[in-house]
Amino acid sequence: MGDLLSLFVNSVFIGNILLAYFLGICSFIAVSKTIETATGLGLAVIFVLTVTSPVNWLIYHGLLAPGALAWAGFPEMDLSFLKYITFIAVIAAIVQAVEMVIDRYSPLLYASLGVFLPLIAVNCAILGTSLFMVERNHTFVESVVFGAGSGTGWMLAIVSMAAIRKKVRYADVPAGLDGFGFIMIIAGLMAMTFMMFSGITL
Amino acid sequence: MSDKKQSNRSFKNSRVYVVFFALAVALVFSVLITSAATMLKPLHQQNRILDKKTNLLEAANLLPENERLTPEKIQTIYDTHIREVHADPRGQILRQATGDSLQLYLIHTDQQVQGYIVPISTRGLWGKIHGYLAFEADGETVAGFSVYSHSETPGLGGEIESQWFQDNFKGKKILNAHNQLVSVSIAKGKSENLPENLQDHYVDGISGATLTGRYLSEGLEETLTQYEPVSIIFRQKKGSQTHLDTLLDE
Amino acid sequence: MQNDLSHYKEILVKGIWRENPVAYQVLGICSALAVTVKMSTALVMSIALTLVAAFSGLIISSLRHLIPSNIRIIVELTVIASLVIVTDQILQAYLYDISKQLSIFVGLIITNCIILGRAEAFALANNPADSFVDGIANGLGYSMILMAVAFFRELLGSGQFFGISVIPQFVYDMGFQDMGIMVLAPGAFFIIGLLVWLKNSLPGGISHEKK
């Protein structure tokens, strides 16, 4: 239990998928203009990550990993090279399904979240989390915790960024630095702040 | 003209065509990637084995520094200096693996045993850390350490693969003054800040990677406890040169 | 026909400088940064991405009259993902050390916005040769930024250039130290921010629309 907690805290702060591994920066920049939309996208990312990470775990360890097909009589089979294409297909399919379910049962939620869902399918944070989960040899339970933790970390980062951008809206930034460059500098400072948690022991 | 275009477009979106097209794309690309994967697989395996051998040699300090070695050269050094063996739970060195034997590697020059290498496999912050810890023939002095696979954060825990960190294991002792096993651990910060009697058993830590260090220390202690019978065999021979075959035939 | 050299040059300049994918289009930066601690990994990543961009442009453009529009995206993703898998396999076979360091980031080329973006915006509307050149141009534009970031991070963070120490010992003796922050994530953010500032201040790199 303590291990899972520390995995969660690590994936939220020290190993923040956005600020330490640079995943999902495209939408981080595009959607951090207001706090409301940032929160919406953040929630969608948490949800999608918590679902896709374990689903991809099952597919990888049930079908693709070396020796995973032993039950079907192919103990020598190693299909792990197919993981990229399988994961991206699973993610696209899940996002599509989530979109349809939300649209059907909660039009209100769909109105606020729906626009972000297609964006998520190509968000590298989602694919990255699934690939990290394989690379780091997580167990099934760990993959759920890691997915949720990565999502939470991502949301925390984008919501803080939206809040900071609101505060600095009227700041007098030198021409040329204004815009993308300035956001990167802020992100750098945020990354430093998040790294301060690296001394933490649980 | 526009009629033709129209009909072409509707044909392109007809169900039959879409299914046919999707299947064709799937077929062509699965053939492409499967053949690439199958053709290159032997090379991948070769690389993995070579990488392990390189790391074994690195732990044993047998690799010339600042020189790019060809795979053949690495293979030659490996063949002349390393012998993969096994040890039973009493520490007896065996040629063949048995049910409960441990894997280890002997370092030898002209068949004279110079030391041994223990494979390390422990959890890290994110995933498994795999590496090797080499010992001198006295059974207590660390000769070197190397890591061939890990998934720690680059710049923080990832520093375990850096030269300074690995070099700092050289010469550390796993026995204390009373000849008890104390393992070798990763300090929090510099090892020189520790009390003098501990300095021999601690290496400098990596700043910002407390947890990686802690897991690695735990893993090392566990592994060394397991391999203690082997180390005892080596300690008993203290100083005397042993021939490879003598050790194996005992 | 516009198929003369100046036409290709036009596409190249556009991709590499005027509409540089990282700085201007704010695309593809995701996987761009994690591999910039060292120049060697950044170089291999750049080559891999450029090749994938060029060949996906070529293939998608050749198929553009055949692809049904409603499964367009999934076909594009299949093409890109297949090329990435092949690239990854080749790297593992011939550049094992570097492919180990690139870890998951080769796979993330799939979700790199530059590649899908160019497929959508250019390859579907232009002929294969143009699309191939456009892929190379955008790949090189990306490579330029990536190499620049890696150059500063490796030089300031470890005092090295492609793994060779370039800062003389006497500088260290005078008290100079490698900047640890450059090896870590924040260093990448700072460098890229400053590079964008520099590019926007240069003539020809006119500031893009205000965010």
- What are the pLDDT digits (tens) for B174-204? 888 888 888 888 888 888 888 888 888 888 8
B24 touches chain C (CB under 8 A): no
Mean pLDDT of chain B: 84
Which residues of C are less than 8 Å from B65 in CB distance?
A: none
The per-residue pLDDT for B234 is 84
- Tell me whether residue C183 is exposed, middle or buried, using C-beta atoms within 10 angstroms of its C-beta: 0 to 12, 13 to 18, 19 or more: buried
pLDDT at C1 over 50: no
Please write the tens of the pLDDT for every residue from A18-36: 888 888 887 888 788 888 8
A36: nearest Cα among A120, A186, A169, A159: A159
Q: Kindly state the tokens that stand for A131.
A: 């690939």
Q: How far apart are CA A78 and CA A97, in angstroms?
A: 29
Sort out which chain A residues have CB atoms less than 8 A from C188's CB and list them.
Answer: 22, 188
Q: Please measure the distance between the N-terminal and C-terminal CA atoms of chain A and give it in whole angstroms.
A: 11
AA identity, residue C154: E
Decide if B203 contacts B170 (C-beta within 8 A).
no
Instruction: Give pLDDT tens digits for A114-166.
Output: 667 777 766 788 999 999 998 888 899 999 999 999 999 999 999 999 999 99
Cβ distance of A188 and C189 shorter than 8 Å: yes
Burial (CB count <10 Å: 0-12, 13-18, 19+), residue B174: buried
Structure tokens belonging to residue B213: 């260090």
Residue-level pLDDT at A166: 92
Q: Is the pLDDT of residue C144 over 80?
A: yes
Does the pLDDT value for residue C175 go beyond 60?
A: yes
Report the distance separating Cα A68 and Cα A65, nearest Å: 5
Determine contact: A136 vs chain B, CB below 8 A: yes
pLDDT band at B118 (very low <50, low <70, confident <90, very high): very high
For chain B, which residues lie within 8 Å of any Cβ of chain A, measuring from their own Cβ? Answer: 33, 37, 41, 125-128, 151, 153, 156, 208-211, 214
Asked if the Cβ–Cβ distance from C32 to A33 is below 8 Å, we say: no
Residue A107 structure tokens:
């039009």
Tell me how far apart the alpha carbons of residues A23 and C111 are, in angstroms, rounded to a whole number: 10
For the entire predicted model, the pTM comes to: 0.83
Nearest-CA neighbor of B60 among B176, B141, B160, B123?
Answer: B141
- In this structure, of B7-21, B213-227, C31-45, C142-156, the range with the lowest mean pLDDT score is B7-21
Residues in chain A closer than 8 A to C113 (CB atoms):
26, 122
- The 3 state secondary structure assigned to chain A is CHHHHHHHHHHHCCCCCCCCCCCCHHHHHHCCCCHHHHHHHHHHHHHHHHHHHHHHHHHHHHHHCCCHHHHHCCCCCCCHHHHHHHHHHHHHHHHHHHHHHHHHHCHHHHHHHHHHHHHHHCCHHHHHHHHHHHHCCCCHHHHHHHHHHHHHHHHHHHHHHHHHHHHCCCCCCCCCCCCHHHHHHHHHHHHHHHHHHHHCCC
Q: How high is the pLDDT of residue C68?
A: 86
Share above pLDDT 70 across residues of chain A, in percent, rounded to a whole number: 94
List, in sequence order, every residue forming a beta bridge with B105; answer none if it has no partner: B84, B117
Q: Note the pLDDT of residue B192.
A: 82
Residues of C in contact with B149 (CB under 8 A): 100
Interface residue A83 vs chain B (CB under 8 A): no
Taking residues C130-149, report their average pLDDT. Answer: 89
Number of CB atoms found within 10 A of residue A202's CB = 11
Express each pLDDT in C63-119 by its tens digit: 988 888 878 888 888 899 999 999 999 999 998 888 888 878 888 888 887 888 888
Residue B6: pLDDT band (50, 70, 90) is low
Q: Across the interface, do A10 and B210 touch by the CB < 8 Å criterion?
A: no
* CA-based nearest residue to C131, from C143, C121, C145, C142: C121
Q: Hey, is the C-beta of C176 within 8 angstroms of any chain B C-beta?
A: no
pLDDT at A58 over 90: yes
Chain A residues touching residue B126 (CB < 8 angstroms):
10, 15, 132, 136
What is the Cα–Cα distance from A182 to B227, expressed in whole angstroms? 55
Q: In degrees, to the nearest 5, what angle opens at C-alpha C139 toward C-alphas C137 and C142?
A: 110
Beta carbons of B12 and C68 less than 8 angstroms apart:
yes
Length of chain C: 211
pLDDT category at A186 given cuts 50, 70, 90 is very high
* pLDDT given for residue C207 in this prediction: 45
Q: Alpha-carbon distance A55 to A129, whole Å?
A: 12
Which ranges of B13-133 would DSSP assign to H, the alpha helix?
Answer: 15-59, 71-81
C67 close contact with B: CB closer than 8 A? yes
Q: How confident is the model at residue A56 (pLDDT cuts 50, 70, 90)?
A: very high
Q: In 3-state terms, what secondary structure has residue B223?
A: helix
> Is pLDDT at A99 greater than 70 in this prediction?
yes
Task: Report pLDDT digits (tens) over C36-61.
Answer: 888 988 999 999 999 999 999 999 99
Within 13 Å, how many C-alpha atoms sit on residue B54's CB side? 19
Supply the DSSP string of chain C, one letter for each residue: ---SHHHHHHHHHIIIIIT-TTTTS--S-HHHHHT-SSHHHHHHHHHHHHHHHHHHHHHHHHTTTTS-GGGHHHHHHHHHHHHHHHHHHHHHHH-HHHHHHHGGGTGGGGG-HHHHHHIIIIITTS-HHHHHHHHHHHHHHHHHHHHHHHHHHHHHHHSEETTEE-S-HHHHHTT----HHHHSHHHHHHHHHHHHHHHHHSTT-------
Q: Which residue has the tokens 């492609």?
A: C162
Greatest CA separation found in chain B?
96
The pLDDT of A40-62, averaged and rounded, is 90
- pLDDT tens, residue by residue, B94-104: 888 787 888 88
Return residues 85-104 of A near B (CB < 8 Å): 85
Say if residues B216 and B121 touch (Cβ distance below 8 Å): no
Q: Is A91 exposed, middle or buried (0-12, 13-18, 19+ CB in 10 A)?
A: buried
DSSP B173: B
